[in-house]
Structure formats: structure tokens, C-alpha cells
């Protein structure tokens, strides 16, 4: 699986970018928000990626931030939400806005995205509400002492993703990584952060 690409931005389109990595051009689908964050053509870029495999194709979707990829994974897990709809939602809403909308049941905010009707927005809110924890307040705190993934710096988003891949719920992973970051400080490596977060999540 390709989890990250680091190279040069070759070109962009309305819904994709081509990343040149060692002379190989990777076509990466992306939200308008990620495309805007990549910067000018020719510059060095790093994108987090999700590989989508079907019977007749293999595609890459890219994200400027790890938390956007985490939300993409949650969204495509909802019945009726494919990759295009998920990217449309991530184009319309920042991860923090999406988190707040789902946590508070604001289906109208989710329905702002192209291709998302009221029924689908309601399904998204209902299916994801229990998976993400409470809405972040002004300080970013979650119920239970966690921190919203979009507000965690450094390697936080990747550490949260690692814990989720090991079976921890998003809210549990966020809380454990936030506690580990507070103890280790901003200079912590991803490996150290994941190890400490695992110990805290398992308590």
C-alpha cells in the first residue's frame, strides 16, 4: 500500500494532481482544499495517500494533512458515500468543521457539499456520530479529555491513524495521542508517539 508520496508537484487539474516522484508521475485524486494547500507547480510536496482498489482499477487519493485522510476513511465507510462524494465533503468542510457538524447533528452543514442530499447527510451524521466523540470546544477539548485530530500538531494525525488501524476508536486514539504528545513534547518522533499512545490507550 502507498501511504505517502514525497516529490515535486508536476501539474494539477480540477480534481487531481500529478506528483513526480523520482521521474514517475503519480495521478492523485484530491479535494479542492488539498489542491489549494499543495502550492505552486514545480515545488516539493508531500501528500498522505489512500489506495483504492477495485476489480478494474487502482487509484490513489491524496491529502495535504493526515486528519483529512482519516475523515475520508470514515466517510467512505458510510453506505452511499463513494470517494467522489467524500472528496466533495472534504472540499466543502475543513476537518474541524466536519467534526463539529457530525458531533452536533448538523446535517444541513454536511449537505452543503456537492452531491450530498438531506437523506445522505442525515445518514452520515447518524453513522459517524458515535465514532468521533464530542464536538471540539473553543480549546479543542473533547469529552473524555481528548483533542480533535485536526488540532493536533506534528505527527499526531499519523499516530491517531496508526492506533485506529490497531482497532482503537477515533475518540480513544485522539485522547491517547494527545496525552502522549503532552508528555513527550513537540519534538517527539512518530515511533515514540505511537508507542506511548498505545500504552496510554491500553490502560
Tell me the pLDDT tens digit for each residue of 98-148.
Answer: 988 888 889 999 999 998 999 999 999 999 987 776 544 433 334 333 334
Tell me: the pLDDT tens digits for 144-183?
A: 333 344 333 457 777 777 777 777 776 777 778 878 877 8
Q: What is the pLDDT of residue 85?
A: 94
User: How many angstroms separate the CA atoms of 164 and 84, rounded?
Assistant: 23
Q: What is the DSSP letter of 149?
A: G
Tell me: the pLDDT tens digits for 177-188?
A: 878 877 887 677
User: How many angstroms separate the CA atoms of 10 and 192, rounded?
Assistant: 34
User: How many angstroms separate the CA atoms of 169 and 191, rounded?
Assistant: 20
Q: Which of 162, 167, 169 is nearest to 197 (CA)?
A: 162
| Grid cell listed for 99 | 467534526
Mean pLDDT of 53-80: 89
Which are the contacts of 195, defined by CB distance < 8 A and separation ≥ 6?
A: none
- Residues above pLDDT 90, as percent of the chain: 39
Arithmetic mean of pLDDT over the chain:
82
User: How many angstroms separate the CA atoms of 71 and 157, rounded?
Assistant: 11
Q: What is the pLDDT of residue 28?
A: 96
Phi, psi of 105 (to 5 degrees): 75, 25
Q: What is the pLDDT of residue 21?
A: 96
Amino acid at each position: 500500500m502507498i501511504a505517502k508520496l514525497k516529490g515535486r508537484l508536476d501539474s494539477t487539474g480540477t480534481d487531481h494532481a500529478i506528483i513526480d516522484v523520482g521521474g514517475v508521475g503519480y495521478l492523485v485524486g484530491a479535494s479542492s482544499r488539498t489542491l489549494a494547500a499543495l502550492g505552486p507547480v514545480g515545488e516539493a510536496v508531500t501528500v498522505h495517500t489512500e489506495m483504492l482498489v477495485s476489480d478494474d482499477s487502482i487509484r490513489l487519493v491524496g491529502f495535504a494533512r493526515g486528519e483529512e485522510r482519516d475523515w475520508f476513511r470514515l466517510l467512505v465507510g458510510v453506505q452511499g458515500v463513494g470517494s467522489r462524494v467524500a472528496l466533495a465533503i472534504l472540499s466543502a468542510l475543513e476537518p474541524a468543521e466536519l467534526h463539529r457538524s457530525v458531533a452536533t447533528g448538523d446535517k444541513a452543514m454536511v449537505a452543503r457539499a456537492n452531491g450530498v442530499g438531506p437523506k445522505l447527510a442525515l445518514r452520515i451524521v447518524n453513522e459517524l456520530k458515535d465514532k468521533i466523540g464530542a464536538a471540539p470546544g473553543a480549546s479543542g477539548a473533547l469529552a473524555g479529555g481528548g483533542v480533535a485530530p485536526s488540532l493536533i500538531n506534528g505527527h499526531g494525525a499519523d499516530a491517531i491513524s496508526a492506533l485506529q488501524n490497531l482497532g482503537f476508536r477515533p475518540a480513544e486514539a485522539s485522547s491517547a495521542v494527545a496525552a502522549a504528545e503532552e508528555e513527550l513534547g513537540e519534538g517527539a518522533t512518530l515511533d515514540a508517539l505511537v508507542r506511548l499512545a498505545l500504552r496510554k490507550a491500553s490502560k
